[in-house]
Each structure stands twice: as structure tokens, then as C-alpha cells.
Structure 1
Amino acid sequence: MIHRRHALGLLAAASILPSKGFADIAPMNSEIREGLAQHFRDEGTRGTFVGYKVDDYLIIASDTERSGEGRLPASTFKIPNSLIAIETGVVQDPDKDVFKWDGIKRANEAWNSDHTLRSAIAVSAFPVYQEIARRIGEERMQKYVNLFEYGNRNIGGGIDTFWVSGELRIDPVQQVDFVDRLRRGVLPVSKRSQELVRDILPVTQVGDAVIRAKTGLTDREHGSLGWLVGWAEKGSVQTVFALNMDCPEPRHVADRMTLAQACLRDIGAI
């Protein structure tokens, strides 16, 4: 696969993927809507939004620069981490396998308890996913990150921290490509693994639409970068999207979903 490096200039091409998807679209099937960027400015921050309208084979972005810039994935990496955990057998059942709390009190109270994979992704339990990554191990983790063609594929910086403070980088366009392959079930892992991960993704109901998406947030040392990646379903209409934004103030953390919904409405996805 050749990933697009400069915003919407080049699109990923993947002849191995069946049927048309994000990675098969010609560059003319993309557009910039600068009005989307206004949502971020209205909230006193900077960010980017990329949406892929599946039925129209159309990619819409808020800008031509940030949409193609690679950044730490933070907790959005819990999506591939979950896939790898199930595929390798580190997790057999996302509702029955229990990760015991290590007894260390953390500021996020929801992390201070035992978790299954489903409950861990719901509260974005970092310690659980650190343990999962350690059990997967560096060799297998690298293998699957390569197979997924995930971002820059660099897991340097510690097996249990590389996605929050290490060398891994992914841009919004690549996020949409990866999530779209998961949505379609064409990633190079079993159908079961993909079905289970699609099922455990957090769900937000918005009127008659459903958003299945994962948040991400880096610490201040690494830029307080907020992510939301996933897809929206409204009837038979599906739209894959990725948003990232600077979160200099606590209120901006909640704005990830608010701004994603505003952008999705603007492009007729919800």
C-alpha cells in the first residue's frame, strides 16, 4: 500500500482489498471544505477532520495540511491493540477474560478495578492495555502493526508506551483507511477478531444515527492532542471519520465528540 503523505494529494492504493473502499478512490473523489475548520476556531482551538462517505466514495477534509500530519495515536491504538490481543489469543473472550486491577490507585477512578476487554475499552483503561501489550510482546506487536500498515509502523519507545509517548505516528487519513478496513472486515486477521472489536467499540446514539468510535488523548508533555476515530451509521449510510484537535483546556476534551458531530452533520452523515 502507498499511503497518501500530503493531505488529500495522494490516496492510499491497495489492490489486495476487495471492492471499492477508501483505499481505492481516485484523487478527484476528494474535496476540502474549509467551513469544517471553523468549528475548531469557534471553540478556540485548532484541529482537523477527515470524513469518508462510503456510498459516494467521497473523502471530505477540513484542510490540506494537518489532515496529513502524523501524530501519536494515543488511545485510538486500543483498536488495533484489541484486534491483536484477540487474534493472538491474549484475549479469548472480550466479555469473560478478566484483567485484575494491580492495586495501584490512579486519578481515573474507572481504572481502579478489574476489567474485561469490553469494559477496558469503554473507559479507555490504559493500565489494562499496557498489560495486553506486554503479553503480546514486541515481536508479535511489530508483526501485526506491519500487517495493518498502521501509520509509520514504528513501535519504538517501550512495548507498553509506544502509542502514547514513543515513536508511533499516524495521520487522520491513515486512521480513516485503517478504520474503514476494520468496518469492512478486510484487515489481515480473522473475521472473528474483527467482528468482536467492531462490537466492543464505544457507541454514541445521535438521533437516528449511531457513532462507533474511540477517543484518544496525549498528556501535556506530548501536546495534549485529542483524537476521535470511527464511523457513523444512519440507516444504510455509513461515514468513516477521524478528528484530531489540540486540547489546551479541559473543556476541549469533551469537544472531541461535539465537534465530530458538528462536522458529520455538515457533510450529511448524521
Structure 2
Amino acid sequence: MKIFYFAPILILFFSCTGKKPDANKKEDNVIKREIVVTELQTIIDSVNLEGAILIYDLEGDIYYSNDFERSKNGKLPASTFKIPNSIIALETETVKNDSTLFKWNGEKRSLKNWEQDLIFRDAFHFSCVPCYQEVARSIGVKDMTEYLDKLEYGNMKVDSTNIDLFWLEGESQISQFQQVDFLKRFYQSELPISKRTETIMKRMMVMEDNDDYKLSGKTGWSIRNGNNNGWFVGYVEHQNKTYFFATNVEPNKDFDMNLFPRIRKDATYKALEQMRIIK
């Protein structure tokens, strides 16, 4: 690793931990790739959640988290799977582009904003499960499995019985570290996909673009055996630097579940503010 990273990384490390360097300790003079930030745990506790926030500084090659062990545990990807699902759909030409129309058949759906005709881009942002189930069935088990292997996306368990549910139910798993690794390879054009697909996806994934930063990502929410699990994954481009994040949280007892969709995002934004990545 280049020596000019040394000073700023040590400064950030000590500012996060509150410790001062001791010249007599060898470990204080070693660049640390995993830094525990206790303030991230405080953020999670303050909103009555359990879980971990993982942040990766691409240029510094440094990970920050409140709980690195939890960040290595696999969970169902839920709607964060719409990122690879969209990539595979475009690569196989199951979906032509981000303006491809999905017609609503008039049947009642779980969310009101799913009860309309949606173009692919809006289906992604509205996280339309029925739309993406249709996409997965059209892709089929063979192509889905082959592409997931090529993309090296987590540990998905796909067969003919679960082709339109495997990311929401069952034994499929991906960890926060794996989410960040996948997004990093996608961002750096290291996935075995066409430039056209990459360009469409990077455009589709933008959630916020302002004078300070551009944030791209996807949320997810699964319920397994009565247990709720929420995701928010993505990356932030700020002042010529890029940071990746993967938040995975679960509600504590007496949590108001009406707040869950917003709180998992709010906690992530607070973490990015705490790390001075965004304002």
C-alpha cells in the first residue's frame, strides 16, 4: 500500500476511537484495514434496532463498522437482489432497457404504487416485487444460475421451485462484506457484463444527486419465520472519493414497524454524516 495513505488513516483511526498514538507500540504504526467506530453502534441503538453498518473507503482501502463479525453473516438479500436481477435481465435481453414497460394486470398488490403500469426504472425504484418475479421467471433457472456464478453474488439457492422467490425466502444468503465486494466490482467495471448494461444500471441506481454528493443504492426487506430483516446497500461519490455501504438491521421488541422502511435508511445517512462522507 502506498505510504501517502498512512498519515490520514491513522488520524481518522484515532479520531474514531478517541485514543492517542503510543510510539512504543508497534501496532499503532501499522495501517489498519478494519476500524471499529463505536458511534455507529450508538446510531443503531438510538433508533431501537440491532445490526451493523459497514462502510468501505475505496481510495483508502479501509472498512469501518460497529460490528465486523455480524457484517460477515449471511442474510437473505431481499430487494437488494434487484441489482443483480436487473443486470441479468439486461444481459439476457429479458428486459430491453430501463424504459421497458411492465403492464399491470389489474390484480390487487401489496403496495399501491405497484398497482399501475411501470417502466423498468420505476419498477426498480418502487421495488415492485411482482415485476421482478416476472423478470426472474422469464430469465429461468439455467441463465439465472449461470449469471449468478459469473457475477459471484453471495450464495444463492436457485431451482425450479423457487425461481421467483429465492431472494425473499429460503436458504439464499449474502453478507454485508459480500454486498460491498459486489458493488465495488460493479462500480469499477470488473463484472463480466456489457458496458451498456453497466451504464443503464448506474443510471437506474441513483437515489440522490446534489451539489455535495451522489448516492446510488437499493433497500431490501425480508420476513423469515416472523423475523424482519432490513437492508440498505450502495455507494456515495463525494469530492472525487467513493465510499460503499451495506447496512443490515433488525427491529428490537416494541419497534413501530411502520417506521422500518425509513429508519434503515435514516440510520445509514446518519452513519455517513458521522464519518463526514456527506453533510
Give TM-score scaled by structure 2 length.
0.83
Identify unmatched segments of 5+ residues in structure 2: 1-30
Structure 1: distance between partners of 2:214 and 2:264: 16
Q: Which residue of 1 aligns with 2:101?
A: 98
Q: Which residue of 2 aligns with 1:269?
A: 277
SS of the counterpart of 1:93? coil
Q: Which residue of 1 aligns with 2:54?
A: 50
Q: Tell me which structure has the larger Cα radius of gyration.
A: 2
Letter in 1 for 2:147: Y
Q: Which residue of 2 aligns with 1:16?
A: none
Question: Residues 72-101 of structure 1, C-alpha deviation per residue, up to 9 Å, x if partnerless?
Answer: 000000000000000000011211x21111
Contact 1:182 1:198 in 2 (8 A): no
Q: Which residue of 1 aligns with 2:33?
A: 29
User: In structure 2, which of residues 195, 205, 220 is the aligned counterpart of residue 191 of structure 1?
Assistant: 195
Structure 2 residue 127 is the aligned partner of structure 1 residue 119: no
SS of the counterpart of 2:55? strand
Contact 1:237 1:269 in 2 (8 A): no
User: In structure 2, which of residues 228, 232, 253 is the aligned counterpart of residue 228 of structure 1?
Assistant: 232
Shift of 1:255: 0.8
Identify unmatched segments of 5+ residues in structure 1: 1-26
Shift of 1:153: 3.2
SS of the counterpart of 1:46? strand
Contact 2:217 2:232 in 1 (8 A): yes
Structure 2 residue 178 is the aligned partner of structure 1 residue 174: yes
Shift of 1:202: 4.0
Q: Which moved more, 1:156-165 or 1:128-137?
A: 156-165
Structure 2: distance between partners of 1:145 and 1:102: 30
Letter in 1 for 2:105: D
Structure 2 residue 260 is the aligned partner of structure 1 residue 252: yes
Shift of 1:32: 1.6
Give TM-score scaled by structure 1 length.
0.85
Question: Residues 40-90 of structure 1, C-alpha deviation per residue, up to 9 Å, x if partnerless?
Answer: 111111111111111211111211321111000000000000000000000
Structure 2 residue 201 is the aligned partner of structure 1 residue 208: no
Letter in 1 for 2:132: Y
The count of corresponding residues between Structure 1 and Structure 2 is: 244
